Amino acid sequence: MSRKKIVAGNWKMNLDRAKAKELTAAVAARRGEAAAVELVLCPPALYVETVGAAIAGAKGTVGLGAQNMHDKASGAFTGEVAPPMLVDLGCQYVILGHSERRTLFGETDAAVNVKTKAALAAGLVPIVCVGETLEEREAGRTAAVVTGQVQGSLAGLSPAELEKIVVAYEPVWAIGTGKVATPEQAQEVHALIRGLLAKLSSPEIAARVRIQYGGSVKPDNAADLARQPDIDGALVGGASLKADDFLGIAKAFG
Ligand code: PGA
């Protein structure tokens, strides 16, 4: 089964407008270096429009995503961003349930589930994040935790909806720590996730869903991850803030 690899940059709450433009222009100009890989940029919500404009000539070949959204289409939700607003600005993707959202902002699997359905209803592709903490891994609970997150976050999705999503496995202990999961550790969990997706839909559909790895992905460790059969790309934080590093990672998946 050949799945088109997808490498997304999660800029988190970094850069300013000028730097966002500069980074986007650099990625767009050099997009051809990783032509076989789908590229997505996920800037802070406030810069989505700027980044969309800076993609310019590479429109259609560099995707645009947000890092979070509310689940309602409009209403009295001060400070929130609605799915149709993201679509209006040209987003095709939205990261949901990132571990920082889960741990710092209290997002539960149930909340991620509602948002995932709302994203799909708005026509966005959700990148649904799951992953265990170090304590959970050391207690031998990785499979149980990831299983609970996948089942909870994706509950009630139809097979057709499941086929559209991207899943990101991001062990919390590997995010921003420089401590990447070994290719074997990552592959083991990716295979588990694909098995869960198969149970929620069918083996055929699960074989078409892209599962990204995230957590300290760098150009020098991406190739080993990319060789694993169930790793279909990367969700990149720190290294996505430099065009060289981001494209270096993308090339490793090409
Ligand atoms: P990192 O972040 O690449 O800086 O570890 C990944 C993520 O949080 O998506």
Residue 1 resides in a domain: no
In a domain, 93, yes or no: yes
- Going by pLDDT thresholds of 50, 70 and 90, the confidence category of residue 1 is low
Query: Could you tell me which residues are beta bridge partners of residue 210?
Result: 166
221 lines ligand 1 (CB under 6 A): no
Tokens of 182: 């070994």
For residue 153, the surrounding DSSP H or E stretch is helix 142-153
User: Does residue 155 lie in a domain region?
Assistant: yes
223 domain residue, yes or no: yes
Q: What percent of the chain has pLDDT over 70?
A: 100
Is 98 catalytic? The answer is yes
pLDDT bucket at 251, cuts 50 / 70 / 90: very high
CA count, 13 A, side-chain hemisphere, 248: 13
CA of 138 from ligand 1 middle (Å) equals 21
Q: With 80 as the cut, is the pLDDT of residue 249 above it?
A: yes
In tens, the pLDDT along 135-155 reads 999 999 999 999 999 999 999
Q: Is 165 in contact with 120 (CB distance < 8 Å)?
A: yes
Residue 90 is assigned to a structural domain of this protein: yes
204 is a domain residue = yes
Partners of 10 in the β-ladder:
42
Instruction: Say yes or no: CB of residue 153 within 6 Å of ligand 1.
Output: no
Residue 95 Cα, ligand 1 centroid: separation in angstroms?
12
Domain range for 109 is 6-253
Q: Which of 107, 136, 170, 190 is catalytic?
A: 170
Task: Give 231's pLDDT tier (boundaries 50, 70, 90).
Answer: very high
Average pLDDT in the chain: 97
Whether the CB of 65 sits within 6 Å of ligand 1: no
| Residue 58 is assigned to a structural domain of this protein | yes
Q: Rounded to whole angstroms, how far apart are CA atoms 162 and 140?
A: 28
Do the strands 166-169 and 210-214 form a parallel or antiparallel pair, or are they unpaired? parallel
Q: Is the CB of 127 under 6 A from ligand 1?
A: no
Residue range 209-219: average pLDDT? 98
For ligand 1, atom 7: residue with the closest CA:
237
Indicate whether 246 pLDDT > 70: yes
Sequence-ordered list of residues with C-beta below 8 angstroms from that of 190, at least 6 positions apart, any chain: 169, 211, 213, 228, 230, 231
Give the angle 1-186-10 at the CA atoms, nearest 5°.
90
Mean per-residue pLDDT, 18-25: 98
Cβ of 187 less than 6 Å from ligand 1: no
- This prediction has a pTM of 0.98
- Secondary element (H or E) of residue 235: strand 233-236
In angstroms, rounded to a whole number, what is the distance separating the alpha carbons of residues 94 and 12? 12
Say which residue the tokens 């494209």 belong to: 247
What's the token pair of residue 183?
A: 């290719």
Q: Which residue blocks in the chain are alpha helix, DSSP H?
A: 17-29, 48-55, 83-88, 99-104, 109-122, 134-138, 142-153, 159-164, 183-200, 203-206, 219-226, 243-252
Between CA 190 and CA 131 the distance in angstroms is 11
Task: Please state the rounded mean pLDDT for residues 78-89.
Answer: 98
Label residue 122 by pLDDT band (50, 70, 90). Answer: very high
Structure tokens at 92: 């095709």
DSSP string, 140-191: T-HHHHHHHHHHHHTTT--HHHHHH-EEEE--GGGTTTS-PPPHHHHHHHHH
Distance between CA atoms of residues 84 and 179, nearest Å: 37
- Flag whether 61 is in a domain: yes
CATH (domain of 206): 3.20.20.70
Among protein residues, the one whose CA lies closest to atom 1 of ligand 1: 237
Is 170 a catalytic site residue? yes
- What percentage of the chain exceeds 90 in pLDDT? 97
Q: How many domains does the chain have?
A: 1
**Tens digits of residue pLDDT in 30-79:** 999 999 999 999 999 999 999 999 998 888 899 999 999 999 999 999 99
